[in-house]
């Protein structure tokens, strides 16, 4: 197979040219003068320009870099000096020069940069980046007619890098370029731009030189047109292995009944790596495809170190219902490390695949086996719970007494998921487990069961439990079992438990009771919980707390007013509160209406002594374009804080 070099490689690290935000410059050039427009409608003063150009010659790299950055606000007068700066020995200066050339933009920049494509590789790559970032297809047209084969190829590559589908019309003209490297690049760009109108022309290129054919096949895969299936299928019989691989992959991308049938026929009559490639391609078309005779191939793929191949194997195993692979799946899935990001991603896929088989004999056998490693056992337990495998209950009851913490955790959660209704004592026994997660899972199950006999043991555990998350589960369970009884004893609980009761209670009466709690944090929690209810009695909680001695409580009052929409008149006193954040949230809670009363309150916020309050008032006053509001805003132009003035 013929090979061609000069591949366009644009380093991504240098294509991120947006580390600063500059106004775009649009140039209109004439012979004697230059008119420019920027977002600030200003032309860089000649003296400043000369100063920056002089600094480009400084011996200090940092000075040169800052000068190159500042020239992004200039015009075409800076283009040539910036192009020279691309040869600077400092990468920082080169980066800044590239960025500024892109920001200056325009035809002049493009045409002055284009000759650099004939330069050494590093300069050429910078030129390619600049032309790509300029993003103007028409600026590349002269390059498409260049006598130099490499220049034409670079231009074709850039058309796809820019990503403008308008480039398709120009690619059509390049399909018959005399240089095979250009034609191959043309095929690649057609695929990247999804120029579907050129599908027939790309199919015709399958009679070209091998490297062009290879690129054409890849393009047809990207185009996804079923009319290409038959022409591509013929390539599977060619002697060229790269072409056969490309054809197989393209058929998978195109998909559809015809392409899938072709791949199935090929799989049936092939072996080795080519067969595996066809299986991968067919599986990539999507789930649900049942392929015959590939069980062994799938198990081989399952053991691969390539996680993408393992994902395809899982898809295939699930689609053909290969329940005999359960031991393999548990071993491979159990080998995944949940603390590793890759393993954490794969474990749910293994669980989903196993659960698709349902409650099988293979799964039950694995649960009872002593040979299965503990992570594999955990996976099997999770699957049993997920697929509702009630037949697994007896063995799960044994496993929750395992010496392995993770197995006990998974076992209790699975039993809870299976909704074992008569085993409150079983879960209660696990509330004394040394592992907090096991206790948490058991307590969750008891809350679901609402077994009254568990109330007192859980209440006793509440006082002894060291972990906050487990305590929260206990509070939820107690509220679920008997909320009235739990709340009747509330005064005997520590403040953190009373806060939990507020957060998880479904009773408005509980909020009313705890809104007068002696601890400010509990009162705050009561106020912030009001949004969960649509009860007119909210006023019974809010109004008494407007004058609360705690600023946190008064702030929560304002937040509750904003969320519930009640008691707006209470905001008046909060807007003059001594605490800045109370005033801030009170202002934020004002209704978004055109009422003059509200506008007056917002205007008073413009004169507040605290900057955050003033900024919030500025944000709100835009809805009230009154003369008084405008006058108040004008006063702020002399505010001592720069952010407010801006």
Residue 22, pLDDT > 60, answer no
At what angle are helices 241-254 and 256-268 packed, to 10 degrees?
140
Residue 8, pLDDT > 50, answer no
**Residue 43 has what DSSP assignment?**
P
How confident is the model over 459-513, as pLDDT tens digits?
Answer: 999 989 999 999 999 999 999 999 999 988 988 888 899 889 888 888 888 888 8
Q: What is the largest CA-CA distance in the chain?
A: 96
How confident is the model over 425-474, as pLDDT tens digits?
Answer: 899 999 999 999 999 999 999 999 998 999 999 999 998 999 999 999 99
Give 103-130 as a DSSP string.
Answer: HH-HHHHHHHHGGGGGS-HHHHHHHHHH
Give 178-226 as a DSSP string.
Answer: S-HHHHHHHHHHHHHHT-GGGHHHHHHGGGS-HHHHHHHHHHHHHHT-G
pLDDT tier, 20 (very low <50, low <70, confident <90, very high otherwise): very low
Q: Tell how many helices (H) and how many strands (E) occur in the chain.
A: 39, 2
Residue 353, pLDDT > 90, answer yes
Q: Is 376 exposed, middle or buried (0-12, 13-18, 19+ CB in 10 A)?
A: buried
Q: Is 283 exposed, middle or buried (0-12, 13-18, 19+ CB in 10 A)?
A: buried
CATH dotted code for 1-134? 1.25.10.10
The predicted pLDDT at position 226 comes to 93
The neighbouring-strand residues paired with 29 are 34
At what angle are helices 520-528 and 495-504 packed, to 10 degrees?
10
The rounded distance, in Å, linking the Cα atoms of 360 and 365 is 9
Residue 28, pLDDT > 70, answer no
Mean pLDDT calculated for residue range 105-134:
91
The rounded distance, in Å, linking the Cα atoms of 385 and 414 is 4
The rounded distance, in Å, linking the Cα atoms of 53 and 59 is 13
Number of Cβ atoms within 10 Å of the Cβ of 370 = 5
Q: Which residue has the higher pLDDT, 135 or 396?
A: 396
Residue 34, pLDDT > 60, answer no
Predicted TM-score (pTM) of the model is 0.70
Closest CA to 99 of 139, 68, 64: 68
How confident is the model over 129-182, as pLDDT tens digits?
Answer: 999 999 888 888 889 999 999 999 999 999 999 999 999 999 999 999 999 999
Closest CA to 355 of 328, 388, 400, 393: 388
Residue-wise over 447-460: b if at least 16 C-beta within 10 A, else e? bbbebeebbeebbe
Q: Which of 176-190, 498-512, 525-539, 566-580 has the lowest mean pLDDT?
A: 525-539
How confident is the model over 173-224, as pLDDT tens digits?
Answer: 999 999 999 999 999 999 999 999 999 999 999 999 999 999 999 999 999 9
The predicted pLDDT at position 597 comes to 53
pLDDT tier, 26 (very low <50, low <70, confident <90, very high otherwise): very low
CATH architecture classification, 493-589: Alpha Horseshoe (1.25)
Phi, psi angles (nearest 5°) of residue 577: -65, 150
Q: Where are the domains of the chain?
A: 1-134, 493-589, 591-646
Q: Which of 1-10, 214-223, 286-295, 527-536 has the lowest mean pLDDT?
A: 1-10
Number of Cβ atoms within 10 Å of the Cβ of 552 = 16
How confident is the model over 261-319, as pLDDT tens digits?
Answer: 999 999 988 888 899 999 999 888 766 567 778 999 999 999 999 999 999 999 999 98
The predicted pLDDT at position 43 comes to 54
Residue 4, pLDDT > 60, answer no
């Amino acid at each position: 197979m013929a090979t061609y070099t000069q591949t366009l490689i644009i380093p991504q690290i240098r294509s991120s040219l947006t580390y600063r935000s500059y106004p775009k410059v649009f140039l209109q050039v004439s012979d004697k003068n230059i008119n420019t427009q920027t977002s600030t409608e200003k032309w860089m003063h000649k003296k400043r320009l000369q100063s920056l150009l002089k600094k480009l010659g400084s011996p200090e790299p940092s000075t040169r870099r800052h000068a190159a950055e500042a020239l992004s606000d200039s015009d075409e007068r800076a283009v040539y000096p910036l192009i020279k700066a691309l040869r600077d020995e400092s990468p920082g200066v080169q980066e800044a020069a590239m960025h500024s050339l892109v920001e200056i933009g325009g035809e002049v920049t493009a045409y002055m940069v284009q000759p650099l494509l004939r330069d050494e590789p590093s300069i050429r790559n910078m030129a390619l980046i600049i032309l790509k970032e300029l993003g103007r297809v028409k600026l590349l047209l002269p390059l498409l007619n260049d006598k130099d084969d490499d220049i034409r190829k670079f231009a074709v590559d850039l058309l796809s890098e820019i990503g403008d589908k308008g480039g398709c019309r120009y690619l059509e003209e390049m399909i018959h370029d005399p240089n095979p490297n250009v034609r191959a690049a043309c095929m690649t760009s057609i695929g990247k731009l999804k120029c579907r109108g050129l599908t027939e022309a790309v199919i015709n290129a399958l009679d070209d030189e091998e490297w062009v054919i290879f690129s054409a096949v890849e393009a047809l895969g990207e185009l996804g047109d079923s009319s290409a299936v038959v022409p591509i299928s013929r390539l599977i019989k060619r002697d060229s292995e790269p072409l056969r691989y490309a054809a197989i992959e393209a058929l998978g991308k195109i998909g559809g009944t015809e392409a899938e049938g072709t791949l199935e026929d090929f799989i049936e009559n092939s072996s080795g790596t080519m067969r595996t490639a066809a299986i991968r391609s067919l599986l990539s078309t999507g789930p649900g495809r049942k392929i015959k005779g590939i069980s062994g191939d799938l198990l081989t793929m399952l053991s691969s170190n390539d996680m993408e191949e393992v994902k395809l194997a899982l898809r295939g195993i699930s689609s053909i219902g290969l329940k005999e692979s359960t031991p393999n799946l548990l071993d491979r899935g159990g080998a995944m490390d949940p603390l590793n990001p890759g393993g954490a991603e794969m474990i749910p896929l293994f669980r989903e695949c196993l659960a698709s088989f349902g409650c099988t004999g293979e799964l039950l056998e694995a649960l009872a086996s002593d040979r299965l490693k503990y992570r594999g056992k955990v996976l099997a337990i999770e699957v049993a719970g997920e697929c509702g495998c009630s037949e697994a209950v007896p063995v799960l009851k044994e496993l929750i007494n395992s010496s392995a913490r993770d197995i006990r955790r998974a076992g209790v959660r699975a039993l809870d998921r299976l909704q074992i209704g008569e085993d409150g004592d079983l879960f209660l026994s696990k509330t004394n487990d040394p592992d907090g997660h096991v206790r948490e899972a058991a307590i969750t199950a008891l809350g679901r069961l609402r077994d009254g006999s568990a109330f007192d043991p859980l209440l006793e555990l509440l006082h002894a439990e060291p972990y906050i998350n487990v305590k929260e589960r206990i509070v939820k369970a107690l509220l679920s079992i008997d909320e009235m009884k739990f709340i009747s004893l509330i005064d005997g609980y520590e403040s953190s438990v009373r806060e939990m009761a507020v957060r998880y209670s479904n009773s408005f009466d509980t909020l009313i009771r705890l809104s007068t709690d002696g601890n400010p944090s509990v009162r705050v929690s009561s106020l912030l919980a009001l949004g969960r209810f649509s009860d007119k009695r909210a006023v019974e909680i809010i109004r008494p707390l407007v004058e609360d001695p705690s600023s946190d409580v008064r702030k929560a009052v304002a937040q509750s007013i904003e969320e519930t929409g009640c008691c707006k008149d209470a905001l008046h006193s909060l807007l003059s509160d001594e605490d800045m954040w109370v005033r801030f949230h009170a202002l934020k809670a004002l209704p978004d209406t055109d009422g003059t009363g509200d506008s007056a309150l917002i205007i008073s916020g413009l004169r507040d002594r605290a900057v955050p309050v003033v900024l919030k008032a500025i944000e709100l006053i835009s809805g009230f374009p009154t003369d008084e509001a405008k006058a108040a805003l004008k006063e702020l132009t002399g505010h001592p804080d720069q952010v407010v003035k801006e």
